[in-house]
Structure formats: structure tokens, C-alpha cells
Chain A
């Protein structure tokens, strides 16, 4: 599958898919989307890049080990659950704040950081599996 066409097209497609995955992730609370879908899209993007340019290139590009990304996601999700301790409400209770950035009200919530955690876990774990399997082809 190491064709010229795929190798040429893969980087922009991967970039587009990654951007799209973040878009899907962030709009998930009010429109179709969310961490699971976003994570799967991003993992597919990395898998495509890996098929075109080899696993080494992907590992270089994402800087961190996929499992480290997944671990970070799980940590983020767990911490999001613990934030509620400071408000004196049960574990995992969603908390919202509305800071104003440049005059625009930006809603931030522990559920959003939780969803981002889900995103990273899915990206990390699924991309990790896919890259491991792709990587075996070379040896």
C-alpha cells in the first residue's frame, strides 16, 4: 500500500481528520459528536498516516507513546471527576464556569475536560493497537 498517491495524499488527509476530530470532540455536548467519535477519527487518521509513511514516522510525529497519551487521557478524566471534591459535591458531578475571554463568554466544564480525557484514551489506545499491528508488517 506504499503507493505514491497514498503517500502524497496521506499528510493532508491526516491533518484534516485530526482537525475534524477535535471539532467533533468539542461540539459533542450540543451536536452529534463527542470524545469517543473524535478519538476514533483521530486514531483512524494516525492509522492512515502509518500505512502511507510507516509506523516510525507516526511515532515521531506524535512525539509521545500512544499508551502515554491514553494514560494522560485517563488521568485527565479521573481528575475531572475529583474536581467536584472542592465544591463539596459527589464524585463526577459536573461543574461549570463561564469566564469571559475578549468579551466572549466561554463555557468551561469538568464534563468537557472529562470528554477530552475520553478522547485521548481512545486515540491513544486505538492508535496504539493499530500502529503495533502495522509495525509488525515490517519485521
Chain B
């Protein structure tokens, strides 16, 4: 058992280790290095495959290591049917993607970096789907956002890629924060920090007054990640990424993280009215919006991107639908979608790679030139269209089983599902057939079959879709049933087979196919209709993002100009006004003003003398009109303070103050003689009165504060402590020195470090000569000289 735990840990980190080696492997072996790198995910895949029988028997594997035990944080994973299916998809498709990238990016100078990012993402995604503890889930969630940002912005020299990357990061990053808040809510509501333990407290969760808040926050995370309307706009823009990224992140894995979260939470948060209204509603809207937007496109990748959005909508709708068979349908469709959509994206990339174009209008007749690609595309499209024998067919039958109930809500969503599926059918065939059939069209590059590395992945995925459809019993036994049970939160059996049964679902399938065929044959007209419809709706949230970013920059500039006008005087004035208010307002408001003191009769004559001397020094500094007077006056008040220290029993302080004042006067004199300074500071009368008022307010504030403090009883607890132990424990008679070097030694260590650092800073300031600069500074100097 311990071996299995260690092995699972290794498998979770293998992609990350491979990521570190990627630049080296590619640098050493070129594109062939991808074979080597693919070993890492392949090994993880095999390991997860060996766990499959245990999971299929209904077990759940947990493992992990304590991280911060005192905070109840652990690096712990939880593998049930849902997690394991995801882990298999991630590592399995990941292996194919690494190989595919080897061919797709062959000769690209940054191929190593690209594979490094892909593998890093794989590690993050794998961690996300197996995470048990909330914090680990959140960290991996954010890591997928960051690696996605790096991958979308891979062609960082193009502005569109930079924009798309930033957009994805902002949208999913905000969603991540929302998720974090949601998780904290969950933790506060239940006291549980692990997903696997939530099932024990689901009633507490559903009855909590914060249920809706937590749900909305968690949905914020899931909907942004899974591109649900109205957060869908980042997904099509993310197609700026190289095609392997689109195939992997933006169809098969990352965008499903949101669906994963919803499926994971379904047993504990589902079956409430809010859950069964919000999820189907947003899912349904996303489904329809996605298919309409997909019809409009002519770019292969964009068409696929919008159908991905539609499929995600369908998944969310099913997850939250709440009827029997709904979660089973979602589980089936999720797996089917990963297989066929990954394959189709890779086919799109292959066509683009070999023909130099991925615009449907410019492609045609490729079946002769690219027969294997055509086969893979056709098989994937048949699965996507939901034709018998293919896994997609099972998923669609199950969907219609779940939705065909006859009540109003079911009928509504049934119509949405049939419409969406029909449009997706049309798009699937537009992608898979249009480029291959018909007369041959001249393409920018001479078309021929791609390299093995590139057609192997899509062909295998498409074939898997067929096998899973034919041998559905095996697929159900090991994948669909355990996954559906995990999502449903109770044991459930998926037994739908590819043999058509006469009934409502089959009828609906036929309707879907007929509708889809009609749209496919009239695709140009449908496209024109979609364009007109979208023009009628107007601009979407994508434009809004640009406005928001530009607005944010302008707002920041405006706020900065108000808060930081660049004049020291204003900063200081504001600071001291606040200081004066802090000192004066609370005592007045709360009636804590000090008692009126009586005339001090206990001050001796010579003490008065030095107090007055200090005041004279202050006054002279204020009035000083040349620098020598200012320096000498500053020295006078300093020496007066030193004498005051001496008079009141602080010999150490007095000596120190004397030395410091002497040195201050010396260095002031050294520096000031070299400055040509304006002799007095001319302040206009209004300014003078204003400054004086602030200064006097501060002075009065400190006086009142100190009077109040000294009128109260004196707490000598600390003084007594030092007094008692100075001689007895620390063997020193000079209590001040004992405090400095012994009792508070660590403080003093910090303080002498500060002294040392200021010394270094002074040296650096004097030594470092400004380099000859660009025009900015001389202008400033001239400006200063003029005024």
C-alpha cells in the first residue's frame, strides 16, 4: 500500500519533472525528444490504468502526506471514478499531445519551451483532478490558469496572442479568486477541509444560510474556467495558441475543470432548487450561444472552439438537471467529447500544418492527399454527431433518456438539447467533411499526408471512440459506471449499448440527425442567418473586456494623479493634518482630555534655564536666515536636550546625545557649505498661516497626549522586571546597558544592522556617479536653474 502511495505521488509529479527536462531533451534530440518526454505521461497513464480495477469495484483510493499538520493542511489525493477518469484522459491524451507537438512544432526554435509548458500544465491539471484538500485544489486550479496563460501567449510577438493570454488569465484568475472564497465558505460552514469528507456533512451544507453565497462563488470559479455564458469569450480567443494547446487545454482537459468541480460537488451541493435552476439555465444558454456562434465561423479552429463551448454548456446543463440518467449522460458525454474533440482539433492542426490554411472556404478535396487524416476526422465527426456504433451515440441516447420526461421543464431543455445537438452535428461534418470532399482546391502549401507523429494521435482517439461504442460493456464497467457513481454520489449502473432500442430517445436521435443534415446541406445559408442574428444582438462581452482593461488603466492613472501628485509638500501636509486629527479628535470626542495642570512649582531654577535654552534654540532654527545660524541653533537645542537628560538621571543618554549633536553639527557644516541654498524659505502669508496652524495643532496634540499619559497611574511592571534581574541574573549594574546588550539583545542586533546599512547607503550615494542620461534630466536641471 505504501508503495502504491509513493508511486502515485511519483506519477503526479512525473509531468513536472519531464517539464524541467524538456528544453534539454529537445535541444539534444530535436523533435525526436518528444518520444522521450512522452514516456513520463505514458508511465503515469499506465499506473492509473492499473488502479482501474480497484476503482471499478467501487473502491476509492486516498493517499497523501501531511503538509502543515497544525493547520490541517495536507498534500492528499482522492481517486474515485471521477478523478481517475480525468487522470486517465489527462495523461492519455497528454501523451498523444506531447507526440503530436513533436511533429507540429518541429523545427520551431522554442519547441523545448513549448513542451515544457505543456508538461507543466499536465502536472497542474493532474494535481487539480486528484486534489482532496481545498487548498491543494485551489493551488492547482491557479496553476492551470497560469500555465494556460503561458501557452496561449506562446507566440508572444503577436498582439492578438498577448491579448488572448491576458484575457484568459484575467477571467479565469478572477474565477479562481471566486473559487477560493467559495472554498473558504465551505470550510467555515462545515469545518471540513477535504473534498472527500464533504459527503458526511452535505445536509449541514444545504441547510446553511450561506449555501447560496457559497454556491454562487463556486459557480463563479467553475463557469469562468469552463467558459459558460457570459464568461465564454476568452475560450475562442484562446485559439491564438498553437493547435496542440487548443486540442489539449481548450477542449479535452482544462476547460473541463469547471465541469469537474461541479460534478465533484453534485453529491454534496446538488439537488437543491438553486442548483437545478442555475446550472441548467446557464448551461442551456451556453449550448445555444455556442452552436450559433460556431455556425457563423469559417475557421476550423474557431468552429471547434465554439462547439466546445456548446458541449461544456451541455455538460453543465446535464450535471445540474437532477433527473435520473442525467449525470450518467454527463459522464458519458464528457468522455466521448474529450475523445472526439481532441481528435478533431488535432486534425484541424494537421490540415493547417500541411495545407497552410484552416479556412473552410479555402479547403476541399483533400481526401486523396490525406487519407488517414480523413479517416480520423470522419470517425471523430461521426462520434460527435452521435451516429450509431460510436461512443457519442451512447452519450446522446443517454441524454435523451434523461431529458424525455414530459414535464414542461424537461421539454424546454429537450428542445434546447436537440437544437444544440443538431447544430453541433452540422458543424462536426462541416469540419470533418468539407475540407476533404468535393473538388480539389489549391491551398497555400502543397497538401500531403502529415508525419506519423501527427496523425497517430487523432487516429487513435477517433478509433477509441469507435471501440468504446462497440465494446460498450467494457467501457461502462471500467469508466462510465464508476464515474457516474462518483458524480451521482451513490452506486449507479450505466448499461446503454450501441444496439438501438425503439423508443423516444431513438426517435429524438433521428430528429437530431435529420435536422443536422439539413443544416449541413444549407450551411452557407445557416451561416448568413447566424451572422445576421449576431449583428442584431450587437457587441458581446469580448469588446467589453477591451473597454474594461483600457478603463482600468485610465482609472489607475487618474487615481494615481490624485493620490500621488508628485509634490512632497502635499504628502507631508496630508500626513500631518491626519496626525493632528488623530491626536486631537479622539480625546475630544470621548472626553478624554487631561485635567488642567497646576503651575509647576517643583521645577528648579537651572532646569528652567535649560528648558528655555532649548526653546530659544528651536525658535532660532525657525527664524534662521542663513545656514550657519541654522546649524548652530540646531546644535543649541540638541545640547539643551543632552543637559536635560543629564539632569534627570540619564547619564548614558546625555553622553550619547552630546556626541551625536557634535557629529551632526560637523557633518551638517561639511555638507551645507557646499550647497548654494536659498537663505530663507519664502512662504506666502496664507501658506505660512496654514502650515503654522497644522504645526501648532500637532504640538498641542502631543502635549495633551503626554499630559494625559503622565497623569494616569504609572505601570512599572517592565521596569521592575529589569530592575530585579539586571544584577542577579545578567550580572550588570548599569541597567540601561544590560537592557541593550542582554535583555533586548536581539533588538539591538537589528538596530546596529540598520546603522551599518545606512552607512553603506551613504557610501553608495556618494560613490555612485550618475551615468550620462537621456534628455529627461538635463531638462529638469535647467528648469530648476531657471526658477
Contact = CB atoms under 8 A, between A and B. Distances in A.
B756 interface: yes
B656 interface: yes
Nearest to B757: A125
Contacts of B737: 28-29, 33-34, 115
B762 A132 contact: yes
A111 interface: yes
Interface in B739-753: 740-742, 745-746, 748-749, 752-753
A73 to B, nearest CB: 7
A44 B656 CA distance: 12
Interface string A36-48: 1100110110010
A36 B747 CA distance: 14
A136 to B, nearest CB: 7
Interface string B100-127: 0000000000000000000000000000
Nearest to B651: A32
A136 B742 contact: no
A32 B659 CA distance: 14
Contacts of B596: none
A91 B740 CA distance: 15
Contacts of B208: none
A128 B762 contact: yes
A74 interface: yes
Contact of A70 (B670, B730, B742, B756): B756
A125 B731 contact: no
B734 A121 contact: no
A64 B292 CA distance: 80
A122 B752 contact: yes
Contact of B745 (A31, A70, A111, A124): A111
Contacts of B734: 28-34
B778 interface: no
A24 B753 CA distance: 22
Interface stretch (B282-290, B526-534, B660-668): B660-668
A120 B655 CA distance: 18
B756 A71 contact: yes
Contacts of A70: 755-756, 759
A40 B741 contact: no
B741 A34 contact: yes
A29 B762 contact: no
Contacts of A24: 655
Contact of B740 (A34, A40, A81, A136): A34
Given A35-B741, A129-B762, A136-B674, A29 B733 contact: yes
Contact of A129 (B656, B667, B742, B752): B667
Nearest to B673: A137
A54 to B, nearest CB: 14
A124 B730 CA distance: 28
A1 B38 CA distance: 79
Interface in B666-685: 666-667, 670-671, 674
B662 A92 contact: no
A51 B457 CA distance: 82
B763 interface: yes
Contacts of A77: 748-749, 752
B647 to A, nearest CB: 14
**Most chain B CB within a 10 A radius of its CB, from A30, A81, A117:** A30
A106 interface: no
Nearest to B766: A132
A100 B666 CA distance: 45
A111 B741 CA distance: 6
B57 interface: no
B522 interface: no
B189 interface: no
B663 A29 contact: no
Interface in A9-64: 24, 28-37, 40-41, 43-44, 47, 51
B652 interface: yes
- Among A24, A35, A121, A122, chain B packs the most CB atoms within 10 A around the CB of A121
Contact of A92 (B749, B752, B762): B749
Question: Per DSSP, are chain A's interface residues mostly helix, strand or loop, or mixed?
Answer: helix
Contacts of A43: 663
Nearest to A29: B732
Nearest to B733: A30
A128 B656 contact: no
Contact of B738 (A29, A81, A121, A128): A29
B652 A34 contact: yes
B655 A32 contact: yes
B740 A36 contact: yes
Given A28-B734, A40-B660, A130-B667, A125 B652 contact: no
A85 B652 CA distance: 31
Interface in A109-139: 109, 111, 114-115, 117-118, 121-122, 124-126, 128-130, 132-134, 136-137
B46 interface: no
Contact of B763 (A34, A91, A107, A132): A132
A67 interface: yes
B732 A129 contact: no
A36 B751 CA distance: 11
Contacts of B766: 132-133, 136
B541 to A, nearest CB: 57
Contacts of B582: none
Contact of B663 (A44, A107, A132): A44
A128 B753 CA distance: 15
A132 to B, nearest CB: 5
A91 B746 contact: yes
A93 B652 CA distance: 23
Given A29-B732, A37-B655, A114-B741, A47 B759 contact: no
A118 B752 contact: yes
Contacts of B758: 125, 129
B760 interface: yes
Nearest to B760: A67
Nearest to A91: B746
A121 B756 contact: yes
Contacts of A28: 734, 737
A107 B732 CA distance: 11
Contacts of A78: 749
A134 B668 CA distance: 11
Contacts of B667: 129-130, 133
Interface in B631-658: 651-652, 655-656
Interface of A: 24, 28-37, 40-41, 43-44, 47, 51, 66-67, 70-71, 73-74, 77-78, 81, 91-92, 94, 96, 107, 109, 111, 114-115, 117-118, 121-122, 124-126, 128-130, 132-134, 136-137
19 contacts: A32-B734, A34-B734, A35-B740, A36-B656, A40-B660, A43-B663, A44-B663, A67-B763, A81-B746, A92-B749, A94-B731, A118-B740, A124-B759, A128-B759, A129-B762, A130-B667, A132-B762, A133-B667, A137-B674
* 9 pairs of A and B residues whose beta carbons are closest in the complex: A125-B759, A40-B659, A30-B733, A32-B651, A92-B745, A121-B752, A34-B737, A29-B732, A94-B742
Given A94-B745, A133-B670, A137-B670, 4 more contacts: A37-B659, A70-B755, A94-B741, A136-B670
